[in-house]
Amino acid sequence: MMAREDIPKTFPDEPPEPVSEGKAYAWAAGGTLIPLISGLTISSNAHHFKSSLGNRLMGLGFAFGPSLGELYAGAWGYGLFGMGLRGAALLWLSTTMNNGNSDGAVTQPGVVGYDNSALGDALTASLIVGVATIYSFVETRYAVKRANKRIAAQRFGFSPEIFPSSGGALNPGLLAWIKF
């Protein structure tokens, strides 16, 4: 027959640890800077294929990195929205840069000048990426505060448990707990 102490507990002895603001910022900064620095290193001393790879790596860092702090803090909605917004803006920027006229000159006969629509699109997309990145870093702090408030406010819960019977068999059950 197994003693109660031999059965692994599923109910935590301690409440969940609060979310660390430092870890959240480390995830956000590391997720942004590591791909950015790696991409710059690859692009700066590489041929065309590796240069393209470096650019993609930098784009992934800008798209996903700033939201990693929010995801760590449990703010999935904010994190995924930021990733989607920055990803769409970077896709728009990439499309604008690749499809635009490379020298910016207007190709209509008899017209001399430059087509500023590609430049305007590129600046707008870059502004969206910049503002969304700053917003994600600022929002990370509030996401951590909300997560810690949620952890502190948790007053009751349920957890699966294995209970021994008098005959030595193990029976699954549900343990309800209340914090006073």
First to last CA, the chain: 34
Region 145-160 average pLDDT: 81
Q: Which residue, 142, 131, 129, is CA-closest to 36?
A: 129
pLDDT tens by residue, 66-111:
999 999 999 999 999 999 999 999 998 888 877 654 454 445 554 4
**Quick check: 58 and 26 in contact, CB under 8 A?**
no
* Bridge partners of residue 163, in order along the sequence: 171
CA distances from 49 to 33, 46, 155 (A): 22, 8, 56
DSSP annotation string for 69-129 = HHHHTT-HHHHHHHHHHHHHHHHHHHHHHHHS-TT-B--STT--SB--HHHHHHHHHHHHH
pLDDT top residue among 44 and 35: 35
Q: Is the pLDDT of residue 50 over 50?
A: yes
pLDDT top residue among 73 and 168: 73
Q: Is the pLDDT of residue 131 over 90?
A: yes
**With the CA atoms of 85, 87, 92 and 96 taken in that order, what torsion angle do they form, in degrees rounded to the nearest 10?**
140
Region 52-79 average pLDDT: 91
The pTM of this model reads: 0.68
In 3-state terms the chain splits into helix, strand, coil percentages (rounded to 5) of 65, 10, 25
Q: Is the pLDDT of residue 21 over 90?
A: yes
Q: What residues does each domain of the chain span?
A: 20-100+117-154
CA 94-114-107 angle, to 5 degrees, is 90
Host H or E run for residue 162: strand 156-164
